[in-house]
Amino acid sequence: MLIGSISIGCHSVNLAKPNTNAVKTHYKVDLPPKLSPKKTFLWIGLGPQLGIKVINNNSSSKVLLKSAGRPMSLRDGSGKYFKAQNFSINFREVSLSKPYNIERQVIGPFASFESASRVAKDLSKKGLKPLIAHPRDWEVWLPVKASIPINIKVSKMIKTINSSIKPFIELENTSHLLEGNIEIQAPDGMHWDQGIFQGPFQLQPNSYGSWTLIEKVNLEKYLEGVVPHEIGSRSPAAALQAQSVLARTWAIANSHRYAIDGYHLCSNTQCQVYRDPRKATKSVKEAIQKTNKKILTWKNQPIQAFYHASNGGIMASADEAWAINRLPYLKEKVDGNKILRNKFQIPIKSNKELRVFLKTSIGAFGSNHSRFRWERTLTAKQLKELFEFKEKINEDTLKLKVLKRGKSGRVLSLEILDSSSRNRKILRLDAIRRLLPQLPSTLFVIQEENQGTWKLSGGGFGHGVGLSQAGAIDLASQGWGINSILQHYYPGTKYEPLRDFSKSP
């Protein structure tokens, strides 16, 4: 049974009001609260872009919120209050009495937040105020009148908004419009994405005209939903502790990632994987507690705590993965024992040398990972289907070639070219794996097997920057402690308690 009542309170965000003083670049929402040592509640987007089907297909879109125990309560921005075991929310299109325009210049798409952020920072130095958004891919948004350097490719988006997407709570025979931000309390947690989350929760608008289900969770509790899903609950204690520190550091350093949508972080691989916190075992909780509120810093700021599954035996620098500046604590380095380090020197200078390295596993840390070494096949037919070319191409003349490698041997630019030289695609950095997702990493060599068929032999799984989870597990098994592991992958950084870094010199 669902009970409804009316009360006063709760802040409301109205996206539908036209802005008569300035042209809107997007649906505007409030920023999430700033984090501090005393205020460490993260707003995590569990369900992004809810109701988007209404925009795309002009149809209703339902979401069922199920309690994991006692009845939940729901209160909207106008004060409407409901209590029930489950809530059925239906998103519908509601016409506006006064339409308005959204206009913006768009740069992108980018394969990652990191690459979009580099462009946004460069534009900020020129006095512009760019916004980073993620409607589908990462993009940089600016007002239509902003003067953008001519060397940057931009597109314009102008759209008249005649309606907005609104949530309705469905009762037995009626439905009620919910207004503003919607607060949801679940005393025993709520089922979501095959897990149970404790909340509290908030359903609120985002910058794309749809809605987001957000969980407000303490930083230390958040780690219980990250650490076991990133590195595995059965990892040795020192590896779990290192992962806890990195996940905490990453969350603090990236808490602005989804600011345009009114929350801090997402729950998928665009951020850190955040899933069912019940998977946190006693050993995971002990690792989090042992490193309680501790992070890695460089020059009094949280580091960019990149990590990944396996580096294939060689670490990458940050600028080998994304279009960003080099970071002094993230360098190319053979990730293995002294014998392996003496055998292979940085930089890896030739394809021949890289082929020899990729046939080697003895002495490398984390070599037991399932994708430490791998092979994939690409065909001209696959490439033709994946990419749009200016002109009709002949599959028999298509070529796949590495144009440039980084010091670690990773591919920085990959060329797809036909014999006419008019059909040419160049994939760079993180776009390589985004557009060719069957490749576990960019550490690979290419061999043409037959005309239009290539074998790619590679190593590692992920971008290769920072801590290799497989390597950390291996080192911890050999008796390395947390400090040794962190200094191995992030040399020169400082392991210290979380504090107010805005006051640092």
The helix or strand, by DSSP H or E, that contains position 381, with its residue range, turns out to be helix 380-386
Share of the chain above pLDDT 90, in %: 82
- Residue 73's closest CA among 63, 85, 64? 85
Q: Is 144 helix (H, G, I), strand (E, B) or coil?
A: coil
Per-residue pLDDT of the chain (505 residues; tens, 9 = 90+): 333 333 322 333 333 343 344 679 999 899 999 998 888 999 999 999 999 888 777 666 899 999 999 999 999 999 999 999 999 999 999 999 999 999 999 999 999 999 999 999 999 999 999 999 999 999 999 999 999 998 999 999 999 999 999 999 998 888 999 999 999 999 999 999 999 999 999 999 999 999 999 999 999 999 999 999 999 999 999 999 999 999 999 999 999 999 999 999 999 999 999 999 999 999 999 999 999 999 999 999 999 999 999 999 999 999 999 999 999 999 999 999 999 999 999 999 899 999 999 999 999 999 999 999 999 999 988 888 887 765 566 667 788 999 999 999 999 999 998 776 667 889 999 999 999 999 999 999 999 998 889 999 999 999 999 999 999 999 999 999 999 999 999 999 999 999 887 665 4
Handedness of CA 118, 124, 126, 129 (dihedral sign): positive
Specify the pLDDT at position 423.
73
Measured CA to CA in angstroms, residue 153 lies from 108, 240, 434 at distances of 8, 43, 20
Specify the pLDDT at position 391.
58
Burial class (CB in 10 A: 0-12, 13-18, 19+), 175: middle
Instruction: Tell me if 30 sits within 8 A of 262, measured CB to CB.
Output: yes
User: Model pTM?
Assistant: 0.91
CA distance 285 to 280: 6
Alpha-carbon dihedral of residues 381, 424, 376, 457, nearest 10 degrees? 150
* Torsions phi, psi for 320 (to 5 deg): -85, -15
Specify the pLDDT at position 387.
76
The 10s digit of each residue's pLDDT in 162-176 is: 999 999 999 888 899
Q: β-pairing, 467-468 with 61-67? A: unpaired
CA distance 373 to 311: 10
- Average of per-residue pLDDT values in the chain: 91
Specify the pLDDT at position 191.
98
Q: β-pairing, 265-266 with 61-67? A: unpaired
Instruction: Tell me if 181 sits within 8 A of 204, measured CB to CB.
Output: yes
The 10s digit of each residue's pLDDT in 295-305 is: 999 999 999 99
| Angle at CA of residue 100, ends 97 and 106, nearest 5° | 150
Instruction: Tell me if 318 sits within 8 A of 465, measured CB to CB.
Output: yes
